[in-house]
Amino acid sequence: MNSIVAIVGRPNVGKSTLFNRLVQRREAIVDSVSGVTRDRHYGKSDWNGKEFSVIDTGGYAIGSDDIFEEEIRKQVNLAIEEADLIVFVVDVEEGITPMDAEVAKILRKVKKPIFVTVNKVDNAMRDADAVEFYNLGLGDYHTISSINGSGTGDLLDALAEKMPAPEENDLEKEELPRFAVVGRPNAGKSSFINALIGEDRNIVTNIAGTTRDSIDTKYNRFGFDFNLIDTAGIRKKSKVKEDLEFYSVMRAVRSIEYADVIILVVDATRGFEGQDQNIFWLAEKNRKGVVILINKWDLVEKETNTMRDFEAMVRKQIEPFTDVPIVFTSVLTKQRIFKAIETAVEVFENRKNKIATSKFNDAMLDIVKSYPPPAIKGKYVKIKYCMQLPTQTPQFAFFCNLPQYVRDPYKRFVENKLREIYNFSGVPITIYFRQK
């Protein structure tokens, strides 16, 4: 399980610059999800062999100062709930402002590692000025200049030190499938979970949550054992008119990180909206299995091909990763709820598919010989050998003489052929072309 690092602080202290530096600083960056909500507020990074996610909580406070304060308090509380480590950014030029003191007051009560990060320290004079930030009462601080990057390596070292080692995480991991039920507000997540577990709540054990109390609950239903990561119904929407898009995506981040398979609940009466797509891409970028539930299907006016057309519309929206099971459910009438869990279990199994190298070569080499990559600048790519990599999620390497000439359309062609032969329904696949 990857740790989640949240960056908090008042506006204009350089949170976004630091965020960009953390998620783009090396080739080892796994991905940056563009278009999650307005901008890039979520990215993946790695340092010293530890992969982690970064959330930038800023960029949302719009309006007068009192709204500012309310917004910042909300962002800080979101970070406290959802993140494992918190980076609190302050500005050496302005010193401790009342708002910084306010944020520090909230953070002093928190048991998680807090890293006070003094930004804009680009000379020795400012280094001396930074001493003032001891007065925040949060202990030691790190000085950085997020514009030119000085000090960020030391900050990352300190962060990595507080993250659990990768092996520990895998040891904890039970072999039971972990399903996270995600979706936009009011799509029917809570009702789906209640319908699943029923009033008798078939709970076998309660695993103390990694974040809150009930992140993982072990269930046995329909003859399946699974862990349910319940993100629904934990909080009521606040009275303040808030940017719900941003907050619901950020809340989904945590559950997606912890799950094997994402059950994305979509409200059939609203179609497949931008928010649903964001959550879908978040799951795909994290290489999780995905099942899409089109809920409230009982409320949709139906004609002969309504279901077929709706499914085609969803697949169009999620291109190019269209090999995803779509189940039409009604939580109210309990229609196909069993089918939903059964499908999620199948996707979980598909994610563990391992293909023997000799069989894989037999199947795939014929195809790539018959349809080689198109020649570019008179250069012909010859693929000699291929194998599945020993990774937790399905990744494949194709070894060839000129990997730099293999373009995306050809990678998609190879992926589609691979999916035709092997069952990876609902599972993102990564394909690499490498020099032999």
Binding residues for GTP, as ranges, are 9-16, 56-60, 119-122, 183-190, 230-234, 295-298
In terms of Cα–Cα distance, which of 26, 19, 6, 191 is closest to 82? 6
- Secondary structure (H, E, C), 96-147: CCHHHHHHHHHHCCCCCCEEEEEECCCCHHHHHHHHHHHHHCCCCEEECECC
- Parallel, antiparallel, or unpaired for β 203-207 and 216-221? antiparallel
User: What element of type H or E holds 18?
Assistant: helix 15-24
Instruction: Please list, residue by residue across 369-406, b when 16 or more beta carbons sit within 10 angstroms of its beta carbon and e when fewer do.
Output: eeeebeeeeeeebebeebbbeeeebbbbbbbbeebebb
Which residue is associated with the tokens 């950014």? 89
User: What element of type H or E holds 44?
Assistant: strand 42-47
Annotated binding site: 9-16, 56-60, 119-122, 183-190, 230-234, 295-298
In terms of Cα–Cα distance, which of 311, 319, 306, 326 is closest to 265? 326
In terms of Cα–Cα distance, which of 243, 241, 240, 291 is closest to 266? 291
CB 164 within 8 A of CB 3: yes
User: What element of type H or E holds 51?
Assistant: strand 50-56
Residue 257, token pair as written in the block: 């990180």
